[in-house]
Structure formats: structure tokens, C-alpha cells
Amino acid sequence: MLVIEIELGIIVLFMLGLLVVLVPVLIRLGRVAKESEHVLRQLNTELPFLFQEVRQLIQSGDGAAANARRVTAGFASFSDAIAGIGRTVTGVHASLRRGAEAVLVGLGRNARGWVAGARAAFRVITRGTTFSLPRRDLLPRRDLRGSAYRRL
């Protein structure tokens, strides 16, 4: 009987130790369960509003992205228009440059003609007119071939 009493004593001590350890764990587990229940209730009330705000944020982000696409498309067409204007200005500049060069070359040629005419006029005024047709016998023979003087 003594062995049974010792065994029962050991079992009682084991149960008592188990209760001493398990009771605080179970109390803490109950507190955690109450806090989790409180958090879940709070989430249950706040999540629909949060989801609604997230949905509105996504919609406004989509709207902003659509606006950004429209703005960039507008900038692309604006950029194309500016590039066209630039090409036009370049073409006009090149045309004006060619025209100015032609005018300057023409002025140079005309200026030479004007200067020659002015020199001739000055000679006529200072020396008088001495116009006469060239005589055929004074011109060398080779100059007469194919020239207008042959008909004279």
C-alpha cells in the first residue's frame, strides 16, 4: 500500500505542478482571446471604410494616369507642331539665304555693269565721243572668223 500511496502522491504533485503552470497560461490565453476579439470587431467596423477609401484612391490614381496620358499625348502633338514650325523656319531661312546669295551675286554682277557704264559715261564726258565702227583691215584675220564683223 505504501507504493500506491507514493504513486498517488507523485501523481497529485504532478497534477498540482501542472495546475500551477497551466492556470496562468490559460488566464493569459483568455486575455489574448479577448484582445483578438476586440481587434477583430474593430477591423470589422473599419475595414469597409478602408476598402472604400482604397477603391477611391485607385480610381483617382486611374484618373490621374488617364490625365497624364492625355497630357503627354497633347505634349506629343505640341512637340510635333513645334518640330514642324522648326522645319518650316529652317526651310524659310535656307530659302532666304539662297535668295540673299543670289541677290548679292546679282548685285555684284550689276555693280560691275554699273561701274563699267559709269566709267564709259565718265570717259565720254571727259574725252568726248569717238564712236566709229572698227575697220576690217585693222582687225587680225583670225578675229573675223565667225564674228559679226564679217558681215560688214
Nearest Cα residue to 139 out of 126, 131, 148, 129 = 148
Is the pLDDT at 93 greater than 70, yes or no? yes
The pLDDT tens digits of the residues spanning 106-131 come to 666 666 777 777 788 777 778 766 65
Asked if residues 150 and 139 have their Cβ atoms less than 8 Å apart, the reply is no
Residue 144: other Cβ atoms inside 10 A: 13
The pLDDT tens digits of the residues spanning 40-78 come to 898 888 888 888 888 888 888 888 888 888 888 878 778
Spatial neighbors of 149 by CB under 8 A, at least 6 apart, are 134, 136, 139, 143
The pLDDT tens digits of the residues spanning 12-32 come to 998 888 888 888 888 998 999
Structure confidence at residue 82 as a pLDDT band (50, 70, 90): confident
**What residue ranges do the domains of the chain occupy?**
2-92
